[in-house]
Amino acid sequence: MTILILSCGTRNKLLRFFKESLEKLPGGGRVVATDCSPWAPALYEADAFYLVPKMTEPGYLEEILAICKKEKADGVLPLFEDELNLLAANRSRFAAEGIIPIVSGLETVELCRDKYRFYRYLVQNGLPALVSCKGFAEFDRAYTEGKIRFPVFVKPVRGCGSAGVCRVKDRAFLEALCRHEKEELLIQQFAQGEEFGIDIYVDLLSQKPVRIFAKKKVRMRAGETEKAVSVREEALFALTEKTVAAFSFAGPIDMDVFCVDGKYYISEINPRFGGGYPHAYHCGVDFPALIAGNLSGKENEAVIGAYEAGVCMMKYSDEVIRRL
């Protein structure tokens, strides 16, 4: 079995996990990676790698398809937000070559990328969400009506990786920020409580969540969980299953949840591997093995919460040394 991982960047651990899982298969397996930069350290974890153009350049998709054919890839896994859309929109082109894109449907991908549409969708489906507004005018109305209060959390409506996020404490600064920012801004009620990260695997065949791993975040850095502790809470599992049922997800999912005054609120969902996934893997929640099972035509059995609580994850920096 061969899996192609796109825009691997610094996801060294993830590539190692895939290699470990594929090595356990009866016939073994290979991990192939791509990136647009030779300085992407995860490239050098793969069994083979390719330097490719930026995904915005003409011919990018054709090059990825050519690599899939050359390497006889069974599945292709995007890790970067914009590539989720690209693969979801071109699913049929990969399927025609017998290659499975490990990505949710296009409508779901686009819904999760637009944070305001995502918020409205949660509300329409009766799911708990932090009050959110698009732009200052909508915020001002909600503030006047007492629906939202300071401090608020501000981020680009279509942002990713915590770029451009900030906490705002007063009206004057918020108005100035909205006036001068080029991108549309989402203004969300700041959550004064605990934050949880949920790693979910939605089976590609049954389209049901078969693994859920929850962790309480202790510290964040550059939008990724740096320190966390595993938790097992039935209320979190139930909320996760109810939420997933309202969307058309497939494959690995990363969900952020806040607990305020004993009540859970969904903040965001990223339909891809989250940066904190290594915690789940080290607790025995093996998404690469589930992916391999699906690619071989096997429907995975649902096993929810089968891991140890109280296991801490503490990230640290590492390096790759390679001769030019």
Q: How many angstroms separate the Cα of 226 from the Cα of each of 14, 153, 219, 254?
A: 15, 20, 6, 15
Report the distance separating Cα 259 and Cα 130, nearest Å.
10
Q: Is residue 113 part of a domain?
A: no
pLDDT for res 78: 98
Q: Which of 245, 257, 252 is nearest to 215 (CA)?
A: 257
Q: Is residue 7 part of a domain?
A: yes
Short-list 199, 190, 235, 239, CA closest to 217: 199
Question: What's the total number of domains in the chain?
Answer: 3
Give the single-character DSSP code of 25.
S
Assigned domain for 114 exists: no
pLDDT > 90 fraction of the chain, expressed in percent and rounded:
90
The whole-number pLDDT of residue 158 equals: 85
Over residues 295-316, the pLDDT tens digits come to: 999 999 999 999 999 999 999 9
| Predicted confidence (pLDDT) per residue in 198-246, tens digit | 999 999 999 999 999 999 999 877 667 889 999 999 999 999 999 999 9
Q: Is the pLDDT of residue 162 over 80?
A: no
Q: Are residues 205 and 293 in the same domain?
A: yes
Domain carrying residue 164? 131-189
- For residues 172 and 227, membership in a common domain is answered with no
Decide: helix, strand or coil at residue 223: coil
What is the domain-level CATH number for residue 24? 3.40.50.20
321 is a domain residue: no
pTM for the full predicted model: 0.94
Dist CA 237 CA 215 (whole Å): 12
pLDDT reading at 163 higher than 70: no
**236-263 confidence digits (pLDDT tens):** 999 999 999 999 999 999 999 999 999 9
Q: Hey, is 39 helix, strand or coil?
A: coil
Tokens for 98?
Answer: 């017998």
Coil, strand, or helix at residue 106? Answer: helix
Q: What is the pLDDT of residue 219?
A: 85
- Residues 58, 9 share a domain: yes
Higher pLDDT, 318 or 298: 298
Taking only the tens place, the pLDDT of each residue in 27-65 is 999 999 999 999 999 999 999 999 999 999 999 999 999
Residue 159: give its domain's CATH number: 3.30.1490.20
DSSP class of residue 45 equals G
User: Nearest 5°: phi and psi at 212?
Assistant: -135, 125
Angle at 12 (CA atoms; ends 6, 13), nearest 5 degrees:
115
Distance CA 163, CA 155 (A): 8
Q: What is the CA radius of gyration of the chain?
A: 20
